[in-house]
Chain A
């Protein structure tokens, strides 16, 4: 039997030592009438067969499409050293570092991760991670409600539609009052509408930069307005963009979250990823999840431990700041390795490459007759084009030509049937962008 070490002979020796006849005797505490009604599971396979089966399944997926699909999840370059290092089984076969003396590797890596997130976002403190960007944003909303003891959460529609649908499900069950505010015609946050909603019941205003349409904003004025009403400002950010863009700390944000996938993790059909959550010193005790601190042993040697654990479920039970326990440690180690390899200058370059290539792609695509840029606001590496035809039709035709050309927005936003969200990363080349332009031109001509 795979993965079971003891031979039948050994099993018998152990049964003898215990003083029972058979393994069945050990299951005596289980009442007889608890036996399974059925257990129709196929017979076990060999490693050869499993590999063949999974190869066949993997090949039923379309890879090799040139990817211009983003929406918060991007086809970025991952240096080979990232996977080589997180494949060290001392990392991946360990659990949460409950015994710090033999877990300094993971603990120090988390401390380095917290440092990297703080330096990227400009915030004071980062936790050890949340499951993904969406659950991180939900935890931020909950945290704001706890801090302000208020229930109204204002969310700009520039926030990822995926995250908004998640927030809606969570808040429905958590009795928070959830208000969504549309973006202004230029694609950025609508100040007038948001300011009108901010009141003495408001716990938080939730924003995103760049927003779902790729548009860049400076939310300093909104944060100020929120603060003057006693509310918090929360922003979800795209970490790669922070190689170039103003960090959220400089806009006065109280809680910053984001999706970590772009920092060295494969797309992998939606996970596993990780979410980050960073905040100011003032709010550290209301922060959810685990956090690592630096300390020392009796001999004065530096070491790392989980700290501020009195916020957490294993001690506080129903009074904890969150129910989170396991997070996404291995993926944060991957991100820390990625950020170390890319480094201070590399991150700036990756961000600039993305922005330059997206600028070029936008220029190329909007040179096609009747293809327009939808929003006037400046963008980072993603932008919306309005086509003369239903974007769904264009996308289907472009898939056949070997592209994942972007996300049609009609399903998610009223009046945007002809709109497509296009993302460009440092991996795309001038040639690929040129081919996309030609292919789209061809599709529109055929229509």
Chain B
């Protein structure tokens, strides 16, 4: 398919602009002007519409079919959220309005949305307060690490290390390293859990924090968190919770109750805001009481008279980490989602997410090796394709074959500690019929890997392109037209 830059003809226009109605021509000296035009497309509106409609047809979203991408929580994105965030009262609101005198009064509705969402998230997680500013999960982690650093600076603690399990998301060590901490990676035990003794051994007076994903990245719940938190607190370290998997424990466990001091939540996972093909998301960070004063500037507060305002007077704060008040449009969608579900609904979300994952685990475990088989997994289950490997069929091949059958593949080769990992997260929004169809297909592919391994290895065959040459891509570095 051609690029938009290869379409159109010279002089064609996509948009009609108004004629200039002022009697002034700008007064900018020639030497500041652009000598050559930026070579943008010259296409009609219809060409643009057809081009991007065709591109959308070469893409796969949750609205197309089952998207069991583990760790990413590809649940259904409710349409009401998309409608509400397009209300003019929100889209046309300039973010600098509250900076004008009495300007906060011009944006009361928006501030109330942020305030209410913050309160709801605090109650859901057991934290004292959230900053809604972080613009993505990894940005939340960076914010969290800056709060950890500020806490220790404030107390005069000499801290140099952050301890993570080897099953953690790559963003955890990457975020911690940016803030100047060295990373201590602790191997998990054979059950896929943190090795409690090894962890305790890794903790010493220079431990700034421990970062854990809860439930962990294998979809398992770590029962020793409270005990571990105690050890970490004994050396005045902090417990950071990567809340990427919060969708498994809504109404069941609150990180703030079990020893975590701060956490981030991915609104685009647990709270159903769309993933947008890779963003924009949002990664609010919640903290316990003792860390509140370090939260970024500004925070939305409710005054005694019931109005909302922005609090900038925060001398101990880590400062500004985002231009304004967070990804407002995303916060708004998450707010609607929480309102729709309510207390009951949130608990049902986690129950059904866990039920669906366990159902898949149970139905597939005869065919694929389960990475770790405890009593029950949480919202996702991890398999390994080692059984299928004997005819040269690998996890990548199984993933590609699923595409031929109309499914989005699960997450593959993560967590890194599981050989040939296949990580399946069905989410609560999927029906039993969909799960059954997927299970049947997975079983069929397992059989194919015996009977016709070449078919599996050469998949997919049904897509506009087959497997692409990634080595050539890295070598040629053709990154623009």
Known A-B contacts A2-B78, A36-B252; A173 and B149 likewise in contact (beta carbons under 8 Å): yes
Q: How far is the CB of A28 from chain B (nearest CB, A)?
A: 5
Partner of B18, one of A292, A399, A426: A426
Residues of A within 8 A of B58 (CB): 102-105, 108
Task: Tell me, yes or no, whether B287 is within 8 Å of chain A by CB.
Answer: no
A287-313 contacts to B (CB < 8 Å):
290-299, 301-305, 307-308, 312-313
Whole-angstrom CA separation of A444 from B466 in the bound complex: 69
B423-467 contacts to A (CB < 8 Å):
428-432, 434, 460, 463-467
Count class of interface residues, chain A: 35 or more
Residues of B within 8 A of A342 (CB): 14-15, 40
Whole-angstrom CA separation of A87 from B85 in the bound complex: 12
Known A-B contacts A116-B40, A358-B26; A337 and B52 likewise in contact (beta carbons under 8 Å): yes
Q: Are B327 and A271 in contact (CB under 8 A)?
A: yes
Residues of B within 8 A of A159 (CB): none
Q: Are A317 and B174 in contact (CB under 8 A)?
A: yes
Q: Are A4 and B24 in contact (CB under 8 A)?
A: no
Q: Are B277 and A344 in contact (CB under 8 A)?
A: no
Task: Tell me, yes or no, whether A184 is within 8 Å of chain B by CB.
Answer: no
For A395, the closest partner residue in chain B by CB is B100
Residues of A within 8 A of B348 (CB): 1, 4
Partner of B479, one of A87, A125, A242: A125
Count class of interface residues, chain B: 35 or more
A221-263 contacts to B (CB < 8 Å):
242-247, 250, 259
Whole-angstrom CA separation of A322 from B148 in the bound complex: 19
Task: Tell me, yes or no, whether B264 is within 8 Å of chain A by CB.
Answer: no
Task: Tell me, yes or no, whether A359 is within 8 Å of chain B by CB.
Answer: yes
Whole-angstrom CA separation of A435 from B327 in the bound complex: 33
Q: How far is the CB of A66 from chain B (nearest CB, A)?
A: 11
Q: Are A42 and B342 in contact (CB under 8 A)?
A: yes
Residues of A within 8 A of B28 (CB): 216, 244-245, 355, 378, 380
Partner of B108, one of A2, A61, A77: A61
Whole-angstrom CA separation of A44 from B250 in the bound complex: 14
Q: Are A326 and B274 in contact (CB under 8 A)?
A: no
Residues of A within 8 A of B201 (CB): none
Q: How far is the CB of A267 from chain B (nearest CB, A)?
A: 5
B52-109 contacts to A (CB < 8 Å):
52-53, 55-64, 67, 69, 72, 74-78, 80, 82-97, 99-103, 105-109
Q: How far is the CB of B466 from chain A (nearest CB, A)?
A: 4
Q: Are A399 and B102 in contact (CB under 8 A)?
A: yes
Residues of A within 8 A of B473 (CB): 293-295, 305, 307
Whole-angstrom CA separation of A308 from B477 in the bound complex: 8
For B466, the closest partner residue in chain A by CB is A297
Task: Tell me, yes or no, whether A23 is within 8 Å of chain B by CB.
Answer: yes
Q: How far is the CB of A365 from chain B (nearest CB, A)?
A: 13
Q: Are A169 and B120 in contact (CB under 8 A)?
A: no
Task: Tell me, yes or no, whether A148 is within 8 Å of chain B by CB.
Answer: no
Q: How far is the CB of A415 from chain B (nearest CB, A)?
A: 18
Residues of B within 8 A of A55 (CB): 87
Residues of B within 8 A of A99 (CB): 60, 399-400, 403, 408-409
Whole-angstrom CA separation of A402 from B248 in the bound complex: 48
Residues of A within 8 A of B80 (CB): 47, 50-51
Known A-B contacts A41-B346, A331-B280; A360 and B23 likewise in contact (beta carbons under 8 Å): yes
Residues of A within 8 A of B177 (CB): 318-320, 323
Q: Are B101 and A408 in contact (CB under 8 A)?
A: yes
Q: Are B4 and A87 in contact (CB under 8 A)?
A: no
Task: Tell me, yes or no, whether B200 is within 8 Å of chain A by CB.
Answer: no
Q: How far is the CB of A155 from chain B (nearest CB, A)?
A: 14
Task: Tell me, yes or no, whether A196 is within 8 Å of chain B by CB.
Answer: no
Q: Are B63 and A13 in contact (CB under 8 A)?
A: no
B312-354 contacts to A (CB < 8 Å):
318-330, 332, 336, 338-349, 351-352, 354
For A79, the closest partner residue in chain B by CB is B15
Q: Are B138 and A411 in contact (CB under 8 A)?
A: no
Task: Tell me, yes or no, whether A25 is within 8 Å of chain B by CB.
Answer: yes
Q: Are B477 and A18 in contact (CB under 8 A)?
A: no
Residues of A within 8 A of B262 (CB): none
Closest 3 pairs (CB-CB, A-B): A58-B89, A44-B342, A169-B319
- 14 A-B pairs with C-beta separation under 8 A: A46-B340, A72-B323, A93-B63, A101-B467, A102-B463, A174-B179, A216-B28, A217-B32, A284-B479, A290-B278, A293-B473, A294-B478, A326-B136, A355-B26
